[in-house]
Amino acid sequence: MTTVLGKPLKRRDAEPKLRGDARYTDDLHLPGLLHARLVTSPYAHARIVRIDCDAARRTPGVVAVFTGHDLLPEGPEPAERARHLLARDKVIYAGQPVAIVVAESPYVAADAAALVEVEYDELPAVVDPLAAMTPEAPVIRPKELEGEWAEAGMHATVSGGEELDVRRLPANVTNAVRFQRGDVMQGFASADVVIERTYRTPFVHQAYLEPHASVAVPRPDGGVTIYTTTQGQFYCRNVTATTLGLPHEMVTIVPMEVGGGFGGKTVLLEPLVAAVALRLGRPVKLVLTRTEEFLLATPAPAAIFELRAGARRDGTLTALRARVIFDSGAYPGAPVTIALLLLGGTYRWEHLDLLGYEVLTNKPGTGAYRAPGVPQATFALEQLIDELARAIGQDPLELRLRNAARTGDLQPNGVPWPPIGLVDVLERARQHPLWRSRQRRPNEGWGIAVGGWPGGIEPCAANIRLNHDGTFTVTLGAIDITGTHTVLAMIAAEVLEQPVERIRVKLLPTDGAPYAGMSGGSKITYTVGLAVQAAAEDAKRQLLEIAANELEAAPEDLELVDGAIRVRGMPDRQITLSEIAHRSMVFGGKYAPVYGTGRSVVRQQSPGFNAQIAHVAVDPDTGEVEVLDLVAIQDVGRALNPALVEEQVHGGVGQGIGWALHEAMRWSENGQPLNPSFLDYDLPKASQLPPIAVELVEVPSPIGPFGAKGVGEPPVVPTAAAIANAIADAIGVHLSELPITPERVL
Ligand code: MOS
């Protein structure tokens, strides 16, 4: 029978995308479509004194200009509402939208936006997160604004830890979490070596190619349909509806192609565009400019790690103490919990004390970016492990192997790790020729680092039906940015024992789709795949039942062949799938057997760990670093489609190179963005990437479909640390800050 899983099939969306047939949101041209353009604040922190829209409104072709007070009723604005609408009385970062101009053409809208005059009363801004925690720092958002906000389950990844009462913490601290195990002071006392280091990582942009784009169409029933570039139609709908105060069913999200997301395309200004369209009774399109992407979209947060760690000469890791500060930008929500869990959960520390803060500053609100929080934490942790190894005279890989978390070991939140392949990827690294060929050569070095992602999870469902032509259609509420639809078709084909060409996969708008989570957190193949598997099994049972009835045979005597079911060994006693479809209805609808939130989620995760080996050459005169080779060895549970899995790892390492050597968003002391464009923001070019070799390790997940684990996030995690460790090996320089630029190497 067809065993399609494990084959390197091409992505189904590859050809349409390469041919230019894929339709993106900006390709939509509807009758009567209006075009919107934002007016953004030049100040990082200021009161809005007055907005004069007269000149803009008088411009021929302009239909309307709205300010923050025009669009929605007054009242408190929790961050999750404020960040998706216009500022009202105060701006809290440079680039924050303060008005929106709507016109018959995008050019008129842009010209008119330049005519909107805003008078500001500038306030002191705070850009540095440590300064933002001091008593004299300006207060960015009063804490009582946050109120209750139903988390729509964006990643639903982690939980646990003691949440500190933020009302007792400095003004701009919005969240503080602590994990403790044992007694770190005792751990340090029993160590032979104790090392203390501070590491910093900057804001990093997801740098997707397609800007955010939305088209909102008002409906006669008072609702709104939004075509948009989102990684998750349900999440986008939930936030949009809640922001606008509409019942969820009044908002329909039609997910379009996503030209790159990496966590940055969840929900941004959909609520604003919808509010404008509803007010005007006409469809409205908003496409952000590239500069606006840097000004007001949701990059990865900067972080500071103050670490103190102890080890004994026998290779025992005795204690890790961490004080971690995530710079959330203007709105709360940095991934501090997950960073702490990986910081303390990757190795078997005897004693732990991990304390993390999320702090507001006058910079754009941050958001998810591939393995949120973990590349940052790993840059710090994995260099410290190398330093400990050196200090106790152990090989860095052997020290890692000895202490690496095993299945069942407790994470800092007390939950045991599900099957985890950390030891397995390290074993493979140990055997790898690039690691074995290490030698002393001037200005060359080799580094290793590991890192992972616990795996996202979210309840979701999928439907499948048999069509009259004997094919099947799988319908989903999950979009495809990483080739997931190809893999989901393969899962259905495997269960139904049919060629994969018989399986069509269709994604639907929220109105009509079975619920699925965001394409994020490395969870679509893992969880929607489970739902597809269950739905296909349901359909198969029905098929066999119907065929048994029609063929007057026992179901166990039947076999599925391409397009038909027959009595085993009797080719003439068969019924085609098409005949079955004409006589009966075959429909499978199932949810994935995974559950809501909290500790059960953590137990059901699919941790994906990755070991990377970097070989670098450093020019001691210029500080220039050249990565000569990079090997990524990842546990993927089971590679359902090895080609797609390898592409994911390859792309993730490419972004890891960006974190390591290139990328950083920068602001002046008063919060002026210094590099908000691709000209000034240093993104690695394809020609600057080293040869990247990908190796897959398969430690099956007991839950994931056919053993698969989430794959997308882990590869970005250890790259920067592997390169930093290789540089230390080459020239003995310890890096404390990303990106690793020549001046930091010297
Ligand atoms: Mo993501 S940060 O899982 O797109």
Q: For residue 713, report the distance from its CA to the centre of ligand 1, in Å.
A: 7
With cut-offs at 50, 70 and 90, classify the pLDDT of residue 593.
confident
Q: Is residue 265 within 6 Å of ligand 1 at its C-beta? A: no
Reported as a single tens digit per residue, the pLDDT across 271-300 is: 999 999 999 999 999 999 999 999 999 999
**Cβ neighbour number for residue 166 with a 10 Å cutoff:** 18
Distance 578 CA to ligand 1 centre (A): 40
Check whether 596 has a pLDDT greater than 80.
Answer: no
Q: What is the pLDDT of residue 434?
A: 97
Separation of alpha carbons 478 and 461, rounded Å: 10
Distance, CA of 322 to CA of 386 (rounded, Å): 17
Please report the atom of ligand 1 found closest to the CA of residue 372: 2
Inform me whether the pLDDT recorded for 149 exceeds 90. Answer: no
For residue 358, indicate whether it is catalytic.
no
Ligand 1 atom nearest to 520, measured from its CA: 3
pLDDT band at 585 (very low <50, low <70, confident <90, very high): confident
Residue found under tokens 């839950």: 703
Q: Is the pLDDT of residue 154 over 50?
A: no
Q: 527: CA distance to ligand 1 center in Å? A: 15
Residue of 529, 547, 347, 349 lying closest to 450 (CA atoms): 347
Report which ligand 1 atom has the smallest distance to the Cα of 155. 3
Of the candidates 205, 214, 203, the residue with the CA atom closest to the CA atom of residue 262: 205
Pick the closest to residue 450 from 210, 721, 743 (CA basis).
721
Strands 692-697 and 625-635: parallel
Judge if the beta carbon of residue 368 lies within 6 A of ligand 1: yes
Which atom belonging to ligand 1 lies closest to the Cα atom of 231? 4
* Mean pLDDT, rounded, for 583-592: 84
Q: What was the pLDDT predicted at 159?
A: 58
Decide if pLDDT at 567 tops 90.
yes
Distance 369 CA to ligand 1 centre (A): 5
pLDDT given at position 153: 38
Q: Is the peptide bond before 60 cis (omega within 30 degrees of 0)?
A: no
Each residue's pLDDT tens digit, 408-445: 999 999 989 999 999 999 999 999 999 999 998 999 99
User: Quick one: DSSP state of residue 212?
Assistant: P
Ligand 1 pocket, residue 717 CB under 6 Å: no
For the entire predicted model, the pTM comes to: 0.96
Q: Tell me, what DSSP letter sits at residue 466? A: E
Q: How is residue 463 written in tokens? A: 């439907």
Q: What is the pLDDT of residue 145?
A: 64
Q: How close is the Cα of 206 to the center of ligand 1, in Å? A: 10
Q: How far is it, in rounded angstroms, from Cα 119 to Cα 126?
A: 21
Q: Which of 257, 713, 737, 743 is catalytic?
A: 713
Tokens of 658: 């960006």
256 lines ligand 1 (CB under 6 A): no
Does residue 356 line the site of ligand 1, with CB under 6 A? no
Q: Does the C-beta of 681 come closer than 6 Å to ligand 1?
A: no
Q: What is the pLDDT of residues 675-720, one digit of tens each?
A: 999 999 999 999 999 999 999 999 999 999 999 999 999 999 999 9
What integer pLDDT is reported at residue 597 of this predicted model? Answer: 55
**39: confidence class by pLDDT, cuts 50, 70, 90:** very high
The reply to whether ligand 1 has any atom less than 6 angstroms from the CB of 453 is no
Q: Could you tell me how far CA 497 lies from the centroid of its own chain?
A: 33
Give 168's pLDDT tier (boundaries 50, 70, 90): confident
Q: Please give the full DSSP string across 289-339, using - where no structure is assigned.
A: -HHHHHHHS--BPEEEEEEEEEE-TTS-EEEEEEEEEEEEETSS---HHHH
Average pLDDT, the chain: 93
Please tell me the distance between residue 231's alpha carbon and the centre of ligand 1 in angstroms. 9
Give the pLDDT band (50/70/90) at residue 205: very high
Run of H or E residues at 274: helix 270-280
pLDDT (0 to 100) of residue 97: 98
Cα Rg, the chain, nearest whole Å: 27
Is residue 520 lining ligand 1, measured as CB closer than 6 Å? yes
Handedness of CA 368, 370, 376, 381 (dihedral sign): positive
**Domains of the chain, each with CATH number or no CATH:** 14-21+457-600 (3.30.365.10), 32-123 (3.90.1170.50), 302-456+601-745 (3.30.365.10)
